[in-house]
Amino acid sequence: MAHVELTDLVKEFDDVTAVDGISLDIPDESFTVLVGPSGCGKTTTLRLIAGLERATDGEIRIGEDIVNDARAYERDIAMVFQNYALYPHKTVRDNMRFGLEQHDTDEGIITERVQETAELLQIEELLDRRPSELSGGQQQRVALGRAIVRDPAVFLMDEPLSNLDAKLRVQMRAELNKLHEELSTTTVYVTHDQVEAMTLADQIAVMDNGQIQQVGEPTHVYSNPRNMFVAGFLGSPSMNFLEGTLEESDAGKFELDLGGAIHNVPDEFTDALEPYLGDRVTLGIRPENIALNQDGVPANVHPATVEVVEPQGEKTVLELELATGQSIKAAVDPDTTVEMGDAVNLRFDRDSLQYFDPTTGKSLT
Ligand code: ATP
């Protein structure tokens, strides 16, 4: 096992800075997920750790060793790719044996490890087949098996589930969780799918533009985003942002003038928001933290009109228009009976409010 440490890591390709000064501590036995939109530098970061790219600057440490100059095969890692990358002419058994044979592993150990791993992944009956005779899910299992059999210090996984259909993806996600519990191998996992990131990670690193925007335990990052990018990236449907001018009422309370509607700022935010009096401030509220409240206290509700009703099974997503003309989404109980055109009152859960500086995007709370 090993921890991985990236320090001020930079990778430039001609005029593109794919990785722009990343520092990240990946603890031993952790499942760390790099997540972010397409092109943000996730894969390049993983390939740098793997030794498939050379860093332009910065340091990569695996365990106690600085590995910047070590070749891929000299690093104690195993990589699982999106497209499985199995050898098409080899059987499953030989695909799994190959990495061990390259490292001159003893024949007895090879046979034992392949058998153990096949049992762990429940692919024993597939050992004599070739990749073309396997389903996508089975191929991905073999690709995982090929990594597991090597018993490396670190697994590097690049979107390993993205070629599977939705149902299989959910199933494999649960299996990856279970495998990690059993093996505890330090894992760095790349995905652009925030649900995958939230469910698999014990540490999540949200990336944008070659930089890490925030690192932490998934639920902590979800509830305490450092900026509007992280707040908007994590969560589906994504967080609503409503921009207004911060004012002080005659009663000394802070309120956000949303241009035709007033949002009352709870007292506990007064200190943090005081420097912004008179300035623009963005309120962030997640769809699941909005309730429909037909008879709420007027000070805390926002009248809105239902524009779209989208039942999604475990929740119903409503698209609404506020009196200010702004659009907002709410995720409500599927039993909620509302129709297009209904006038409703929205109540924002006061414990889930976030405030941001609309210019820098930084969280103010
Ligand atoms: P995706 O989710 O689409 O795979 P990503 O977050 O993994 O995206 P990278 O593949 O790391 O992003 O790419 C980061 C940036 O570096 C992109 O702008 C990409 O075009 C560029 N890039 C990556 N590899 C190369 C390369 N070999 N040569 C030139 N530019 C590259």
DSSP per residue over 114-168, as a string? HHHHHHHHT-GGGTTS-GGGS-HHHHHHHHHHHHHTT--SEEEEESTTTTS-HHH
Residue 293 pLDDT > 80, yes or no? no
- The residue among 83 and 202 whose pLDDT is bigger is 202
The pLDDT, as a whole number, for residue 122 is: 86
Q: Residues 268-293: what's their mean pLDDT?
A: 94
The pLDDT, as a whole number, for residue 214 is: 98
* Two structure tokens written together for 151: 């018993």
Whether ligand 1 lies within 6 angstroms of the CB of 19 is answered as no
The minimum-distance atom of ligand 1 relative to the CA of 11 is 16
Distance CA 101, CA 161 (A): 27
75 band by pLDDT with thresholds 50, 70 and 90: very high
Mutation choice for ligand 1 from 10, 40, 47, 229, CB with most ligand atoms inside 8 A = 40
The pLDDT, as a whole number, for residue 295 is: 57
Model ipTM value: 0.93
Residue 332's CB is within 10 A of a number of other CB atoms, namely: 19
The minimum-distance atom of ligand 1 relative to the CA of 17 is 16
- The residue among 236 and 104 whose pLDDT is bigger is 236
Q: Are 298 and 314 in contact (CB under 8 A)?
A: no
Whether ligand 1 lies within 6 angstroms of the CB of 39 is answered as yes
Residue 334 pLDDT > 60, yes or no? yes
Q: Residues 119-143: what's their mean pLDDT?
A: 90
Contacts of residue 21, Cβ cutoff 8 Å, sequence gap at least 6:
8, 9, 10, 58, 210, 211
Percent over 70 (pLDDT), the chain: 98
Distance CA 331, CA 167 (A): 23
Residue 152 pLDDT > 80, yes or no? yes
Q: Give 39 Cα–ligand 1 centroid separation in angstroms.
A: 5
Residue 26 pLDDT > 90, yes or no? yes
Q: Give 43 Cα–ligand 1 centroid separation in angstroms.
A: 7
Whether ligand 1 lies within 6 angstroms of the CB of 296 is answered as no
Identify the CA nearest to 151 among candidates 179, 125, 174, 191: 179
Q: Give 56 Cα–ligand 1 centroid separation in angstroms.
A: 15
Whether ligand 1 lies within 6 angstroms of the CB of 16 is answered as yes
Q: Whose CA is nearest to atom 28 of ligand 1?
A: 13
294 band by pLDDT with thresholds 50, 70 and 90: low
Q: Residues 292-314: what's their mean pLDDT?
A: 80
275 band by pLDDT with thresholds 50, 70 and 90: very high
The pLDDT, as a whole number, for residue 191 is: 94
Q: Are 194 and 235 in contact (CB under 8 A)?
A: yes
The pLDDT, as a whole number, for residue 29 is: 96
Contacts of residue 201, Cβ cutoff 8 Å, sequence gap at least 6:
31, 32, 33, 35, 189, 218
What is the total residue count of the chain? Answer: 365
Q: Give 207 Cα–ligand 1 centroid separation in angstroms.
A: 13
Q: Residues 30-37: what's their mean pLDDT?
A: 96
Q: How does DSSP classify residue 363?
A: B
Q: Residues 78-106: what's their mean pLDDT?
A: 88
The pLDDT, as a whole number, for residue 298 is: 54
